[in-house]
Amino acid sequence: MTLTSLIVFAGALFMAAGSPGPSVAALVARVLSKGARDVLPFLAAMWIGEAIWLTCAVAGLAAVAETFHLAFVAIKWLGVCYLLYLAWKMWFASYDASEEKLPEAQSAAKLFFAGMAVTLGNPKIMMFYVALLPSIIDIHSVTIVGWTELVATMFVVLILIDVSWALLAAKARGFLKSRRAIRIANRASAGTMAGAAVAIAMR
């Protein structure tokens, strides 16, 4: 890959990934509700999920998608159900603002699954790699080294964007001191998480 191609790819990905969508909504909702301390498995799954879509595009997405179509559909609907479950838990979460209960830990495996489901089922991410990526670079000429460079560039961009969103959400969470503020944040997060699930389900 030439430096110019990587810069163009990074710029396009930065604009696509940086704009609010189901993945960003789910990330922000989770941090607002439970804090940023245990969000790494969720983030890691999101980044790995995007690497999977990138790999599918480079390898020839049509054949891969056809082979694993049912698996992608199953993951999508499992993810939708799990996001709705998380939204339900956020809506009825405790309003206790004591430091001992904020943030609340959650299973790393469950968070990883949620992040993977959001990413693999996100139509915005899929369209970026399926429709936009071939117009940015010649995916048919990408070698193993070129794929490695693209994945590395992708990780740098996504880490910068997603960590920034998580830190902003954590900062906002820091202002939640009263029971009423926590209740509003939890229910806003629940609505956001449910909205992300609906956005994925509708595509």
User: 4-41 pLDDT, tens per residue?
Assistant: 888 888 988 888 887 767 777 778 777 877 777 778 88
Place of tokens 């944040």: 185
* Residue-wise pLDDT tens digits, 114-161: 888 888 877 778 778 877 777 778 877 888 898 999 999 999 999 998
Task: Indicate if the pLDDT at residue 108 is higher than 60.
Answer: yes
Query: Where are the strands (E) in 6-57, listed by range?
Result: none
Q: What is the pLDDT of residue 196?
A: 61
Q: State yes or no: pLDDT of 74 exceeds 80.
A: no
pLDDT of 184: 61
Q: Among 173, 166, 161, which residue's Cα sits nearest to residue 93?
A: 173
**C-alpha span between 181 and 150 (Å, rounded):** 42
User: What pLDDT does 116 receive?
Assistant: 85
Nearest in space to 24 (alpha carbons), one of 128, 185, 127, 165: 165
Q: State how far the alpha carbon of 38 is from the alpha carbons of 11, 93, 151, 164, 190, in Å.
A: 29, 17, 24, 16, 18
pLDDT at 105 over 50: no
Question: Is the predicted pLDDT of residue 73 greater than 80, yes or no?
Answer: no
Cβ atoms of 200 and 118 within 8 Å: the answer is yes
Average pLDDT over residues 67-87: 67
Q: What is the 3 state secondary structure string of 144-186? A: HHHHHHHHHHHHHHHHHHHHHHHHHHHHHHCCCCCHHHHHHHH
Q: Please, which pLDDT band fits residue 64 given cuts at 50, 70 and 90?
A: low
Q: Place 101 in a pLDDT band, splitting at 50, 70 and 90.
A: very low
71 compared with 16, residue with greater pLDDT: 16
pLDDT recorded at residue 98: 41
Rounded CA separation 66/200 (Å): 19
Most distant CA atoms of the chain, gap in Å: 57
For 161-180, write each residue's pLDDT tens digit: 899 888 888 887 766 555 55
Cβ(29)–Cβ(189) below 8 Å: yes
Q: For residues 155 and 9, is the Cβ–Cβ distance under 8 A?
A: no
